[in-house]
Amino acid sequence: MRRLFTQSVRPFKWSRLSIVFRPGFSRSLHKNWNSVNDFFQYTRGRFVSNEEHELSIRRVKFDMNELARLAADSVGSRECVHIEKFPDGMFNKTFLFTMANGVEVVGKVPNPNAGQPHFTTASEVATMDFVRNVLGTPVPRVLAWSSKAGENSVGAEYIIMEKVTGVQLSHVWHNMGIEDRFEIVKAISGYQRSWSSTSFTKYGSLYYSCDTDYQKECVLVKSDGTHAKEPRFAIGPSTGRDQADHGRVSIDFDRGPWDDAFQYRRAVGLREITSVQSIGDLPRSPLSLYGPDTYHPTRAKKLAALHSYLQLVRYLLPTDKTIMAPFLWHSDLHTENIFVNPERPTEVLGIIDWQSTEVLPLFEHARQPYFLDYDGPSVEGLEPPTLPENISEFSSAKQLEAKRLYMSMSLSALYRNLTYRDNPVLYKAMEFRQTKCFEMMLLAQNLLVDGEALYQASVLDLEKEWPDVPGAQALGNPPFPVRLSASEVRSLEKDVSGAILGMELMADIKNSLGELWPEKGVVRHGQYNDTKTLLNQAKARMHDRLKSSEENCAWEYSWPFDS
């Protein structure tokens, strides 16, 4: 079930927008930087669903002249003479500033959709400091920053930081041999071992003590069980993406900090309930089509699933307290966030993008790094993968495909074996993520968007396994806490059938578009017209199968893509 609700991240790669001012121009001419509209807009691609809204939440106006001046001041330079805009992320604008003395620094401004004002930036800066100076991870040094847009000359939150040396792993990964890839896996596994050597006593996100109302100093727990106080830092409200996406950023609910894993996990359910009740229009599922014969989400059905979750959550938690301890973790280790030495690509020089980092139970973090993900059967246990015995009978193309899959599976197996050997607590957390209990917690945290029918079906399945659920056994084998009537079960069976049909229909459209499929709703500018044409053809095929004008109207109303 988890596979149905998980989408891999495949970052786009586009050229930078570059604006140059020759050395010797007076600073007054730099006001022209504010006239470069693309600096402030989302320019990386086009959205195929609700484009006007998607662009608006990624549009931010600020004083680029002031940001350039502050960037120059941060390194003691006379002026900034060159600005490059990096390809837009989904949540930030990022720029490369080159100074008159040749020094380069990176500036980052969050979009309105990045998270709660102040908290997102303040936590990111404190996290980078902690990870760099306490956990020993290569992270850019912050040179200047402000989390109060109304109190600075830029008119927006910003971070100015060192430019990471080297190149993104994405530039060299596909040309690296298996031995060099092994070395990268070992290096990243080593950093994760460092992160798991220090836990905390609360759950949420990390801040400087002066930047949060939660003034109690941070307490660190070392791997030997000793405690150490870090008065510069404090655990405050979570800045995780789940706290902000799909309209949640403007809704008032408990964002932490929390004292234990149960409090945190219960808050997830209460957050989703508040969001379902408060949001104007329910978000559209990115994984399913709604229309005739498919499932139709309602607030009542979402709330019913969330109430089931709240009744079950204490029993879904692992019984091993070591994997429930709170840890700070990088949750998005893909190839564009890892920088390596181009001459020695096995040498990791930096890890970037610590925005929205959370201090959460270890089992929440314990997945293999995204750069190891692949399409194919997942690796389980510790046994190495093998090539098909009859591979010699395959065509050349099929042999190449099998060998590529074997390499990907081998890297995944290596990561699992390194973790088992050097980081056994993390490995235990990875194993827990394979259980039905974790799958039900994972699905529950996005029920505002989708999954409520399948969640309730999972509840019925869990009832059959109840005597064997470790959490229930540890709490005295109580009766199963959720009760669904016979009529509710019959209605649920219809909902599940409709939900599966809706996902199959969306999967068919995705397959028909191939590489033109709008990952996260966005495509390159040059692909936009072709993508829209194929989507309209898919809609026409849908209409051709319908029997009545009422059904056509229903599909027309529910079609999730812009006309």
Pairing of strands 218-222, 227-230: antiparallel
Look at residue 17 in the predicted model and tell me its pLDDT.
52
Q: Are 264 and 203 in contact (CB under 8 A)?
A: yes
Give the residue extent of every domain in the chain: 2-165, 495-563
* 261-311 residue pLDDT tens: 999 999 999 999 999 999 999 999 999 998 888 899 999 999 999 999 999
pLDDT beyond 50 at 23: no
Look at residue 547 in the predicted model and tell me its pLDDT.
63
Q: How far apart, in Å, do the first and last CA atoms of the chain sit?
A: 31
CA diameter of the chain:
80
* 424-450 residue pLDDT tens: 999 999 999 999 999 999 999 999 999
Dig out the tokens for 58 from the structure.
């990624």
pLDDT beyond 80 at 8: no
Residue tagged 């993406």 (tokens): 241
Q: Of 273, 261, 265, which is closest to residue 306 (Cα–Cα)?
A: 273
Dig out the tokens for 527 from the structure.
């692909």
Q: What is the mean pLDDT of residues 114-122?
A: 97
Q: Are 448 and 302 in contact (CB under 8 A)?
A: yes
Percent above pLDDT 70 for the chain: 94
* 463-522 residue pLDDT tens: 999 999 999 999 999 999 999 999 999 999 999 999 999 999 999 999 999 999 999 999
Mean per-residue pLDDT of the chain: 92
d(CA 312, CA 321): 18
Q: What value, to the nearest 5°, has the Cα angle with vertex 58 and ends 55 and 62?
A: 125
Q: What is the mean pLDDT of residues 201-218?
A: 90
Residue 321 CB-density burial (10 A; 0-12 exposed, 13-18 middle, 19+ buried): exposed
Helix (H), strand (E) at residue 550: helix 549-558
Residue tagged 């086009």 (tokens): 46
Domain 2-165 has CATH 3.40.50.300: no
Q: What is the mean pLDDT of residues 21-47?
A: 72
Q: How far is CA 500 from CA 40, 129, 282, 403, 514, in A?
A: 41, 45, 19, 33, 21
Dig out the tokens for 546 from the structure.
């319908």
Which range, of 23-27, 35-39, 387-391, averages the lowest pLDDT? Answer: 23-27
Q: Of 158, 167, 95, which is closest to residue 336 (Cα–Cα)?
A: 167
Look at residue 242 in the predicted model and tell me its pLDDT.
95
Q: What value, to the nearest 5°, has the Cα angle with vertex 558 and ends 554 and 562?
A: 130
CA 295 to chain centre: 27
Look at residue 31 in the predicted model and tell me its pLDDT.
60
* DSSP 8-state secondary structure symbol assigned to residue 293: T
Q: Please write down the HEC assignment for all residues of 243-270.
A: HCHHHHHHCCCCCCCECCHHHHHHHHHH
